[in-house]
Structure 1
Amino acid sequence: MHALTRIQVTPAPFCVDHEYRLAASHHQDGAIVFFVGKVRDMNQGHAVNQLTLEHYPGMTERVLYGLADQARARFAVNNITIIHRVGTFSLGEEIVLVIVSAIHRHAAFMATEFIMDLLKSQAPFWKREVTEEGARWLSPTLQDSTAPEKWMNKE
């Protein structure tokens, strides 16, 4: 069975169970790791009421496919799913899903972390929060900006 890469940028909600079952199609894989990112109620000391995510269509998908290719080249993984939602979201809504399958858990965990670290710094998404103080566009955090450094020259 060939490795599957599924990339989707969409306003539609995703079903974690459905996506898990698709990613679990390699029967030799003993590990399936997934990450779900949600809209949280606080950010940088401000109470968040709403989050809007925008993206650069076409380029965003190319970056996400590139991240999946890099993860597959670096780690012994099989299926990779990256779904990122765009639009306006309320607190607690799921906005990003990364699922990685592999024969062993270490590769699946590493690839998932690698994808999320680079997604946060390389994919062309823009975030606008609405707080009690008003609306504001967010800049990448120091942690998001420096996270890719840990992957440089690390195999």
Structure 2
Amino acid sequence: MTVSSEKNPRQVVRVQTADFNVADEYNAIANDNSDGAVVTFAGKVRDFNDGSAVTDLTLEHYPGMTEAVLVQLAEQAYERWPLNYVTIIHRVGRMELGEQIVFIGVTSMHRKAAFAACEFLIDFLKTKAPFWKLEAGEEGNNWVEARDSDEQAASMWNETK
């Protein structure tokens, strides 16, 4: 599902089962010559977590609410920094090792704003968006709990408004 903000047509949020192409997403936002910075982040399924082997990952979400939270996060990023484009793509469903999970892309006139906004978005996405992560491994399936380190990273942004 693609959600664009009525306030800003340069803001795209998608929650989808299909993979995405990082180059295509980059090209979609890197087309404005007033932008001096394009910063992207892509997260992948890795083969371990907290010292345990992982064989695959299943992400579940709360449809409708998830997209609304991601739109709110993008709007908060626009309020904090002078951004031009913001794209957030998050996959759901079952994914194999090495598959892409999330893409965040932001553009701005200046690199500091673009880097800060990208980091802010992933920090808050990990703590505020209603996703549930089920990891499969040699020892069985395990629902992944929220990490204190993710909460601490997000709380740093509350101090730097």
Q: TM-score range by the shorter chain?
A: over 0.9
Secondary structure, aligned partner of 2:33? coil
Equivalent residue runs for 1:93-104 within 5 Å: 93-104=99-110
Specify the alignment match of 2:44 in structure 1: 38
Specify the alignment match of 1:7 in structure 2: 13
Specify the alignment match of 1:28 in structure 2: 34
Q: CA deviation at 1:151?
A: 0.7
CA RMSD of aligned residues (A): 1.0
Candidates 123, 136, 140, aligned match of 1:134: 140
Q: CA deviation at 1:102?
A: 0.4
Q: Deviation above 3 Å: which 4+ runs of structure 1?
A: none
Secondary structure, aligned partner of 1:97? strand
Q: Which moved more, 1:27-36 or 1:141-150?
A: 141-150
Structure 2 CA distance for aligned equivalents of residues 3 and 86 of structure 1 = 24
Secondary structure, aligned partner of 1:79? strand
Secondary structure, aligned partner of 2:19? coil
Q: Which amino acid aligns with 1:37?
A: G
Q: CA deviation at 1:149?
A: 1.0
Secondary structure, aligned partner of 1:25? coil
Note the alpha carbon deviations across 1:94-127, whole angstroms, 9 max, x for none.
Answer: 0100000000000000000000000000000000
**8 Å CA contact retained: 1:8, 1:82:** yes
Residue 92, structure 1, aligned to residue 98, structure 2: yes
Q: TM-score under structure 2 normalisation?
A: 0.93
- Count of aligned residue pairs for this structure pair: 154
Equivalent residue runs for 1:34-113 within 5 Å: 34-113=40-119
**8 Å CA contact retained: 1:42, 1:48:** yes
Specify the alignment match of 2:4 in structure 1: none
Q: Which amino acid aligns with 1:106?
A: K
Q: Give the gaps of 5 or more residues in structure 1.
A: none
Q: TM-score under structure 1 normalisation?
A: 0.96
Specify the alignment match of 1:117 in structure 2: 123
Q: Which amino acid aligns with 2:148?
A: L
Q: Which amino acid aligns with 2:149?
A: Q
Note the alpha carbon deviations across 1:43-77, whole angstroms, 9 max, x for none.
Answer: 01100001000000000000000000000100111
Secondary structure, aligned partner of 1:28? coil
Change (3 A) 1:98 1:58: same
Secondary structure, aligned partner of 2:31? coil
Q: Percent identity?
A: 50
Q: Which moved more, 1:111-120 or 1:3-12?
A: 3-12
**8 Å CA contact retained: 1:3, 1:78:** no
